[in-house]
A and B are shown apart, each in its own frame.
Chain A
């Protein structure tokens, strides 16, 4: 259950960045987590409230977009969608492919509820 460690990392990053802005509460956190990242989005969503309890993130909604695995074929040039455990070109079947999407594990952005509008507009 390494998702707990991932959630702690997300929480720390958000709190550190939020501290540089004025705002009291984080309402939403946007993540990109691909099927080949090794992180399970459903488990992150379940674990995050435990980790975030008592912090400015405790009511934050986690938004994790569905990401598909796509590969670029270095042999025939086709970009195709594949299952996570079979990274071969859908056109010619070769394994000589480059992963284009599917291993993302990124904190994209978060929404901070305003506590001082004037100061925020100054950013």
Chain B
């Protein structure tokens, strides 16, 4: 157990989240990300001095995300970041997934919405623990929010943790949360050219689910093959499944994908324990 924050992520990580911003009282005393070495400075005529930094723009978020991933890996949890437009059926898919697979896999859900506990209530009613993050006006979840939420879950008793991101095809794509896989939903009511319009999001997808398949005929002009082609044209040959949470169509393929990913994650977790796992650190000092 980490002596600084009390988390189960081991003793060899450092903490980037300022203590005053932490909502988890057990995780206080988090020193800030240390600056790079001073050697990057060089003189620039008349302009003063140019200082090389060469860091990711979201280095602090990335660091907390790595910390989250260490928590998940230590507990052997497979974590999915579920992203899509609002109303594409993320919560409904999770409800049906929990009902269908609840006997063989244990689920947990972190829900992100601007307001309300509605989605968390639906997940709990479906039989899984859920933590609701309300972001106010923030258009995406970040690693810090997820860190606060994960301490409210018993990770040891969870096989699959879904992080249902804020409905938005733009902003969530930029923020690593510590997930293992990105699953992006595209409802057939949205238009099959969404991957072409939102390349950043769909390029990051490890799996694309075309949802609300039961409405395909009613919509009339959504071509699943075209949607697939647009994903491939982003250099991304990731699987694209057609599903309907309402009719159950295609849920078997989604379930098989989940079961396979959970198996692979358990294998990685077991190997990490054997080799004295430590998560990656942002260089500091």
Does B247 lie at the interface of the complex (its beta carbon under 8 Å from any beta carbon of A)?
A: no
Does B50 lie at the interface of the complex (its beta carbon under 8 Å from any beta carbon of A)?
A: yes
Which residues from chain A contact B36 at a C-beta distance below 8 Å? 17
Assembled-state Cα–Cα distance A13/B56 (Å): 10
Which residues from chain A contact B234 at a C-beta distance below 8 Å? 85-87, 95
In the bound complex, do residue B57 and residue A21 qualify as a contact, i.e. CB atoms below 8 Å apart?
no
In the bound complex, do residue A107 and residue B235 qualify as a contact, i.e. CB atoms below 8 Å apart?
no
- Please report the number of residue pairs spanning A and B whose Cβ atoms sit closer than 8 angstroms: 141
Assembled-state Cα–Cα distance A50/B115 (Å): 26
Contact of A106 among B41, B54, B232 (CB under 8 A): B54
Which residues from chain A contact B170 at a C-beta distance below 8 Å? 2, 38
Assembled-state Cα–Cα distance A95/B54 (Å): 30
Does A37 lie at the interface of the complex (its beta carbon under 8 Å from any beta carbon of B)?
A: yes
At the interface, is chain B mostly helix, strand, loop or mixed? Answer: mixed
In this complex, how many residues of chain A approach chain B with their Cβ under 8 Å: the count is 48
Which residues from chain A contact B203 at a C-beta distance below 8 Å? 36, 87
Which residues from chain B contact A87 at a C-beta distance below 8 Å? 199, 203, 233-235
Assembled-state Cα–Cα distance A39/B200 (Å): 10
In the bound complex, do residue A9 and residue B57 qualify as a contact, i.e. CB atoms below 8 Å apart?
yes
Assembled-state Cα–Cα distance A80/B51 (Å): 32
Assembled-state Cα–Cα distance A115/B239 (Å): 57
CB distance from B173 to the nearest CB of A (A): 5
Does B174 lie at the interface of the complex (its beta carbon under 8 Å from any beta carbon of A)?
A: yes
**B199-217 Cβ-contact flags toward A at 8 Å (1 or 0):** 1110100000000000000
**A80-116 Cβ-contact flags toward B at 8 Å (1 or 0):** 0000111110000001111100000111111111100
With both beta carbons as reference points, the residue of chain B lying nearest to A19 in the complex is identified as: B35
In the bound complex, do residue A20 and residue B199 qualify as a contact, i.e. CB atoms below 8 Å apart?
no
For chain B, residues 229 to 285, give those with C-beta under 8 angstroms from any C-beta of chain A: 232-237
> Which A residues are closer than 8 A to B by beta carbons?
1-2, 5-6, 9-10, 12-14, 16-21, 23, 27-28, 31, 33, 36-39, 71, 84-88, 95-99, 105-114, 120-121, 123
